[in-house]
Amino acid sequence: MFASTLTDAIRLLATFDHRVAEIVGLSLQVSGGAVVLGTLIGLPLGACIAVGRFPGKSGVSVLINALMGLPSVVVGVVVYLLLSRSGPFGAFGLLYTPLAMVAAQTLLVVPLMAAIARQVVEDAWQRYAEELQVMRFTWWQSVTTLLHDCRHSLLVAVLAGLGRAMSEVGAVMIVGGNIDRATRVMTTAIALETSKGDLPLAIALGIVLIALILALNAVAFGLRHWAMRRYG
Amino acid sequence: MAHELLKRIRVAVLGVVLAGAAQAATAAESIVLASTTSTEQSGLFAHILPIFEKTSGISVKVVALGTGQALDVGRRGDADALLVHDRAAEDKFVAEGYGSYRRDVMYNDFVVVGPTADPAAVRASSDTSDAFRRIAGKAATFISRADKSGTHAAELRFWKAAAIEPVGQSWYKEAGTGMGPTLNMAAGVDAYTLSDRGTWANFKNRQNLAILYAGDPKLFNPYGAILVNPDRHPHVKKAAAERFIDWLTSDAGREAIASYRIGGEQLFFPSPR
């Protein structure tokens, strides 16, 4: 059963058409958009928590670490209620659009990226705190300097966000609706094919998804090495 | 600088996202149709929607949910039209003012599916109630959708007609999921379940499952189309949604529905006028 499903899946890989390419493209757009927003929000947020001195700092750190395990289906329901026509942002008509999916995945990846950034920047902060204070850096200058100095390590946070966004199904299913040629992405397509009992096709799509994530990670790894060699 | 490069990548990705969004915004007119997993997973929409889109230029975006959930989405105003199959709940939806009207569209039937070995001898049933009594009598594992779908509502009606209270029994498993996943579960553990014929016909992971009982008039499964009430939700695309409902019940729409076949078998029948 398992072996035959797998061989059928591999045979299917050869026959993929432009419909699969469309689904892959939308996955990249949605998850890519979420990771860009996650990078712009999550990394500075994590760095601010690391450098800042404020009451309840350890509480915030624990909270943001815990939110790494935020269930995607909960995020889906919350964003659904917000974007629903009967919800507070209903007038924008965003439900069942790719933008709604970007919003939901952004909420998912921000805590994850912020938590990793907080740890990375805090470690660097402990090493360089004195130097930065001697140079009379303001708090915000310290944050941006540390973010810049840690950029190679922070790539892990970006990749973790990308992996989380590309692999989640709970949130995009609810706020996107898995609409054919509109909001269907890799994971919801896999869920649909599994529902139809077409397990070889589901596995084939799964292989494509894993290969895609692997390729993105390989590119990021290569870029990082190239950048480190070239710019130090 | 490396972060220059990163910045450039970011800008490029953002551009792609915005381009995608702009494309979605400028696309031809579209409506959102909340419908059931049975119509989507049976492949019916993939067959009839391109025909409608070609003649009308209106694209229909299908969100496939259980009937209960689809009605809920309609109640919140998140769809323009519904195509569902739970007559009592549909009439209530319209009576409460959430829908403008309901129209008969098509029907198919439910089938009792189970392991070919048939330990409860469901094949020999005299009617639907008898089939359900046989399953309960042998305490054979039965997987319920338990998701407030049209199929779930029908299943509960059949248990009631058989004077059996299955909820809480050890052989009665409430899956809380769509038709396809429920069939996957039944196939995995050789259990009985109730399916609509369309999803079953298009279902590929059957393993030892087969149709064991069908054909009772009580297993009739009608689908209705509902226009979400624009008086309650002014953003509803009334003209486009009505055009779709009119098409579904027109000669062209009826023909499209009747012409969907899997392996030569017709899965949905246009409602008699």
| Residue B165: CATH number of its domain | 3.40.190.10
Among B158, B241, B167, residue whose Cα is nearest residue B195: B158
The residue segments making up the domain with residue B152 are 109-219
CB pairs under 8 A between A and B: 105
Question: Pick from B5, B32, B180: which is nearest to A196 by CB?
Answer: B180
Unique residue bearing structure tokens 């490396």:
B2
Based on the fold, state whether residues B98 and B122 are members of the same structural domain. no
Domain termination residue (choose one: B177, B195, B219): B219
Based on the fold, state whether residues B83 and B184 are members of the same structural domain. no
Q: Do B61 and A93 touch (CB under 8 A)?
A: no
Residue B75 contacts residue B93 (beta carbons within 8 Å): yes
Based on the fold, state whether residues B139 and B86 are members of the same structural domain. no
Residue A104 contacts residue A76 (beta carbons within 8 Å): yes
Query: ipTM of the assembly?
Result: 0.83
Based on the fold, state whether residues B100 and B113 are members of the same structural domain. no
pLDDT at residue B200, rounded to an integer: 95
Q: Per-residue pLDDT tens for A56-71?
A: 999 999 999 999 999 9
Burial class, B222, CB count within 10 angstroms (exposed 0-12 / middle 13-18 / buried 19+): middle
Alpha carbons A196 and B180: distance in angstroms, whole number: 5
Question: What percent of chain A has a predicted confidence (pLDDT) above 90?
Answer: 75
How many C-beta atoms lie closer than 10 Å to residue A89's C-beta? 16
Among B222, B207, B202, B212, residue whose Cα is nearest residue B153: B222
Based on the fold, state whether residues B86 and B166 are members of the same structural domain. no
Among B111, B110, B120, B109, residue whose Cα is nearest residue B190: B120
pLDDT at residue B17, rounded to an integer: 53
Domain termination residue (choose one: B219, B241, B261): B219
pLDDT tops 80 at residue A129:
yes
Based on the fold, state whether residues B250 and B209 are members of the same structural domain. no
Residue B115 contacts residue B158 (beta carbons within 8 Å): no
Burial class, B210, CB count within 10 angstroms (exposed 0-12 / middle 13-18 / buried 19+): middle
Unique residue bearing structure tokens 């889109």:
B53
Range A2-227 has CATH code 1.10.3720.10: yes
Q: Minimal Cα distance from B7: which residue of A?
A: A36
pLDDT at residue B15, rounded to an integer: 56
pLDDT at residue A89, rounded to an integer: 95
Residue B75 contacts residue B156 (beta carbons within 8 Å): no
Average pLDDT, chain A: 92
B103: enclosing H helix or E strand: strand B99-115
Q: Do B24 and A98 touch (CB under 8 A)?
A: yes
Q: Per-residue pLDDT tens for A17-38?
A: 778 889 999 999 999 999 999 9
Question: Pick from B20, B62, B78: which is nearest to A180 by CB?
Answer: B62
How many C-beta atoms lie closer than 10 Å to residue B252's C-beta? 14
User: Of chain A residues 144-163, which have a CB less than 8 A from chain B?
Assistant: 148, 151-152
pLDDT at residue B26, rounded to an integer: 47
User: Of chain A residues 169-208, which have a CB less than 8 A from chain B?
Assistant: 177-180, 182-183, 192, 194-199
Interface of B to A at Cβ within 8 Å reads 1-3, 5-6, 10, 13-14, 16-17, 20-21, 24, 30, 32, 37, 40-41, 45-46, 61-64, 76-78, 178-181, 183-184, 187, 202-207, 233, 235
pLDDT at residue A228, rounded to an integer: 84
Domain count of the fold of chain B: 2
pLDDT band at A45 (very low <50, low <70, confident <90, very high): very high
pLDDT at residue B14, rounded to an integer: 55
Question: What percent of chain A has a predicted confidence (pLDDT) above 70?
Answer: 99
pLDDT at residue B3, rounded to an integer: 53
Based on the fold, state whether residues B192 and B252 are members of the same structural domain. no
Let me know how long chain A is: 232
Q: Residue A18 contacts by C-beta under 8 Å, 6 or more apart in sequence? A: none
The encoded tokens of residue B136 equal 């309960």
Q: Residue B264 contacts by C-beta under 8 Å, 6 or more apart in sequence? A: none
Based on the fold, state whether residues B52 and B154 are members of the same structural domain. no
pTM over 0.90: no
Q: Residue A108 contacts by C-beta under 8 Å, 6 or more apart in sequence? A: A34, A70, A72, A75, A164, A165, A168, A171
pLDDT band at A11 (very low <50, low <70, confident <90, very high): confident
Among A124, A119, A130, residue whose Cα is nearest residue A150: A124
Pairing status of strand B220-228 against strand B99-115: antiparallel
3-state helix vs strand vs coil in chain B, percent to 5 = 45, 25, 30
Could you list the pLDDT tens digit for every one of the 273 residues in chain B?
Answer: 445 545 555 555 555 555 555 454 445 799 999 999 889 888 999 999 999 999 999 999 999 999 999 999 999 999 999 999 999 999 999 999 999 999 999 999 999 999 999 999 999 999 999 999 999 999 999 999 999 999 999 999 999 999 999 999 999 999 999 999 999 999 999 999 999 999 999 999 999 999 999 999 999 999 999 999 999 999 999 999 999 999 999 999 999 999 999 989 999 999 988
Based on the fold, state whether residues B207 and B249 are members of the same structural domain. no
Among B93, B56, B91, B92, residue whose Cα is nearest residue B77: B93
